[in-house]
Amino acid sequence: MKSSIAYMALLLMGSGAWAADQQVAVRFQAMVGTEKLACGKTYAGIGSTKSTLSPRDFRFYVHNVALIDDAGKSVPVLLAQDGKWQLDDVALLDFEDATGGCVNGTPETNDRVVGTVPQGHYTGLRFTLGVPFNKNHTDLTTQPPPLNLTALSWVWNAGRKFARLDFASTGMPRGFAIHLGSTGCTPNEVKTAPPVQCSEPNKVDVEFTAFDAGSDFAVADLAALLKDTNIDTNQEKTAMGCMSSPEDSDCTGIFANLGLPFAGKPAGKQSFFRKASSQMGKSQSGAGN
């Protein structure tokens, strides 16, 4: 509680104001192409083999959520400290509901980031997929929600799973897992000291130059993420799916569509997130690093 109060005070002092009086809710939507993602459903024509998949999990963390004003200035959203989905500047988006194949999930879902910004006119959105370094490598048993979830924790020195996007496919009925997180974290001293750096942070910066929080959604599209991946096979002697290892070729297309460098290949433009408007029905890809 004390850390949350200190964080709020710091943001307010840094902005030169003691009241942020415009409420905002940045809405997200999980999709598989043109269909909403839902546990218990199946989706055909996915990946390079046009496979059929069924979801088993779909959760991810975001931070650095900010709106962009008319002058192009990035204005942080001061997140509501709700004790469940949001802590300081980190929020968890959760689209599984523990039904169907999503047996490792929870009944509760969350599809938005809620907070306040100073009064103004905002025309864009920025956010980062992932958890900040200083929060990523903390002991989950001592952390409040949403950083205390075992389902989104990894080996100790690698930190959190920034995204857990699991499913079964035609060729992988036992499951294909996408667990995004930092790798190459050192020192690798599991029980003595936290890492001081990670060679592959694997955080995704997303920006929509045109975004109206009142009518637009940030869509996370599983079909777009998997369009270049064969989800019916798995590289021998590797984890099932993609666990972010730079030696796992099953991650190649996934990392490319996240806009992340991988196995010596430079980062490109991410296509996992796009903007969708409830009024216009149009979409816009978000730029990412």
User: Per-residue pLDDT tens for 87-118?
Assistant: 999 999 999 999 999 999 999 999 999 999 99
Residue 195 pLDDT > 70: yes
The dihedrals phi and psi of 154, each to the nearest 5 degrees, come to -120, -165
CA pair distance 172, 169, nearest whole angstrom: 5
244-257: per-residue pLDDT in tens? Answer: 999 999 999 999 99
CA pair distance 222, 167, nearest whole angstrom: 10
Give the pLDDT band (50/70/90) at residue 186: confident
CA pair distance 168, 151, nearest whole angstrom: 17
Could you tell me the CA-to-CA distances from 76 to 65, 71, 249 in Å, in that order?
A: 6, 14, 37
DSSP annotation string for 123-161: EEEEEEES--HHHHTS-GGGPPTTTT-GGGB-SGGG-B-
Q: Please compute the mean of the pLDDT values over residues 116-142 and round it to a whole number.
A: 94
Question: Mean pLDDT in the chain?
Answer: 90
Residue 18 pLDDT > 70: no
Q: Please compute the mean of the pLDDT values over residues 232-243 and round it to a whole number.
A: 91
Which pLDDT belongs to residue 115?
97
The dihedrals phi and psi of 273, each to the nearest 5 degrees, come to -100, 140
Least confident of 50-64, 109-123, 149-163: 149-163
Q: Please compute the mean of the pLDDT values over residues 54-76 and round it to a whole number.
A: 97
Q: Please compute the mean of the pLDDT values over residues 24-30 and round it to a whole number.
A: 98
Give the pLDDT band (50/70/90) at residue 158: confident
Q: Dig out the tokens for 91 from the structure.
A: 């929020």
Which pLDDT belongs to residue 156?
62
Classify residue 2 as exposed, middle or buried by CB count within 10 Å of its CB (0-12, 13-18, 19+): exposed
Residue 174 pLDDT > 50: yes
Which pLDDT belongs to residue 4?
53
Residue 16 pLDDT > 50: no
Least confident of 54-58, 82-86, 152-156: 152-156
